[in-house]
Amino acid sequence: MFVSEPRRPRITARDDASILHADLDSFYAAVEQRDDPRLRGKPVIVGGGVVLAASYEAKARGIRTPMNGHRALRLCPEAIVVPPRMSAYAAASTAVFEVFHDTTPVVEGISIDEAFLDVGGLRRIAGEPVDIAHRLRARVAAEVGLPISVGIARTKFLAKVASAVAKPDGLRLVAPGGELEFLHPLPIERLWGVGEVTARNLHEHGITKVGHIAALGETRLRTILGPAAARHLYALSQARDPRRVETGKRRRSIGAQRALGRQPRPLTEIEAFVHGLIDRLGRRLRTAERCCRTVVLRLRFDDFTRATRSHTLAHGTDDTAVILAAARTLLHEARPMIQERGLTLIGLALTNLVDADPRQLTLPLTPRADNTLDTTVDALRQRFGSSAVTRAALLGRGEGISVPLLPD
Ligand SMILES: [Mg+2]
């Protein structure tokens, strides 16, 4: 069985700084300030119970994501809290990625508001990387109305650090040869892999700057952090990061979840939520032209414990009915646990994803004959919005908040 893989551009380490890391600033909050002039220049919190995003004015007051909403309002009582508008963010993301893809064919999306762009090899047609970055920022501002920061360097790691240093609404070039000079004065928290625990550990040893890690050496760092973390952080402190920009990296699973609150719910109602989640996931699966083989059910209980159950099918499928049957079986098997501990969150993931290839159809060889309902419902939702058609059992319950994601 041969499946032709699209040839991915492979970019090796380079001599010139031509990797861009472009990252929208306070994305959700910036969209809110763009769309409502009254919010501009003010501390804005997107979210409610939890802070999903904060404008720079709010961040200046110490508000961070994710932070409890009450705590955020104690820090900054005059902050304006707005509910998230995920569809507006998804639309803004699409528009920004159009600019990215217009800038270079080699785009590696990291999340809905962030991507690496390789502009090496564009010099003759588009100019120096720094000019390309200036134009990119200007276009995102003019066409999408959002501030975006860009870092430019020889490696992905440095480009990402540079965009973070450039924020808000800035551009930072790390010129070849100037990497260590740029990196060493920065706080260790700028390095990938330095979380709260590692940072505290290093601080106790008087290590606060990236340059301290470089000066200490890998051997002595190992006695503080262990071999794996020492190797990783020492390499970064030397600005060594050989990864290339990869496009066409495909998701290995897709998932969705729904919080249920703490009130007890009958199994029929939980089943209805499962239907809703499967409908959403099935649509994403078919839009991405993929099939799944494994269905994973995730449960969180009232006592904060969790359980995961999975079922692997004999063949890959994108058929809602087949996926739903597997999910219902898992749910029924978990019934005693749910009754005993009380369910507060239900999640589903479709994994073991493969490309939907017509040559891999299972018998009977009638391409998607039994998928006509799925196809029709997908088309209706595509045209009239995701709430145009819903299961009767879900009427009045809405879809819950779904966070926009990169294309699958
Ligand atoms: Mg961002």
Domain ranges of the chain: 13-175, 180-237, 253-394
What is the band of 130 on the pLDDT scale with cuts at 50, 70, 90? very high
What's 253-394's CATH class?
alpha beta
What are the backbone angles phi and psi of residue 312, rounded to the nearest 5°? Answer: -105, 130
Q: Output the average pLDDT for the chain.
A: 84
Distance from the CA of 281 to the center of ligand 1, in angstroms? 26
Contact 20, 119 (CB under 8 A): yes
DSSP 3-state of 306: strand
Q: Residue 272: what residue type? A: A
Equal CATH topology for 13-175 and 180-237: no
Backbone angles phi, psi at 47, to 5 degrees: 135, -155
Ligand 1 midpoint to CA 308 (Å)? 31
Mean per-residue pLDDT for 201-221?
95
Residue with tokens 């262990």: 226
Determine which one of 32, 114, 218, 271 is catalytic.
Answer: 114
In the chain, the amino acid numbered 343 is L
What pLDDT is stored for residue 6 in this prediction? 42
CA of 278 to the centre of ligand 1 (A): 29
pTM over 0.85: no
Q: What is the dihedral of CA 286, 291, 295, 297, to 10 degrees?
A: -30
Distance CA 50, CA 403 (A): 14
Cα 27 to ligand 1 centroid, rounded to whole Å: 6
- In this prediction, residue 352 carries a pLDDT of 83
3-state helix, strand, coil in the chain (%, to 5): 45, 20, 35
Q: Identify the residue with better confidence: 123 or 395.
A: 123
User: What's the 107 CA to ligand 1 centre distance in angstroms?
Assistant: 16
Q: What is the structure's pLDDT at 403?
A: 55
Task: State the average pLDDT over residues 130-136.
Answer: 97
Is there a catalytic annotation at residue 114? yes
End-to-end CA distance of the chain: 24
Do 50 and 35 form a contact (C-beta atoms < 8 A)? no
| Residue 324 neighbours by CB distance under 10 Å | 19
How does pLDDT run across 282-332, given as a tens digit for each residue?
Answer: 988 887 778 888 899 999 888 878 888 988 888 888 888 899 999 999 999
Q: Cis omega (within 30 of 0) on the bond before 176?
A: no
Long-range CB contacts (within 8 A, 24+) of 369-372: 370/319, 370/321, 371/286, 371/318, 371/319
Report d(CA 127, CA 404) in Å as an integer: 34
d(CA 168, CA 149): 6
In the reported structure, the alpha carbon of residue 115 is separated from the centroid of ligand 1 by a whole-number distance in angstroms of 9
| Residue in 248, 247, 250 with CA at minimum distance from that of residue 116 | 247
Q: Is 319 annotated as ligand-binding?
A: no
Torsions phi, psi for 207 (to 5 deg): -100, 105
- Look at 64-73, 85-94, 213-222, 260-269 and tell me which has the smallest mean pLDDT: 260-269
Q: Position of tokens 């060594």?
A: 240
Q: How far is the CA of 366 from the centre of ligand 1 (A)?
A: 45
CATH code of the region 180-237: 1.10.150.20
Ligand 1: distance of its center to the CA of 9 in Å?
25
CATH number of the 13-175 domain: 3.30.70.270
Is 241 known to sit in a ligand binding site? Answer: no
Q: What is the pLDDT of residue 408?
A: 53
The torsion defined by the Cα of 181, 186, 190 and 195, in degrees rounded to 10, comes to: 130
Q: What does the alpha-carbon distance between residue 153 and residue 159 come to, in Å, rounded to a whole number?
A: 5
- Cα separation, 336 vs 387, in Å, equals 32
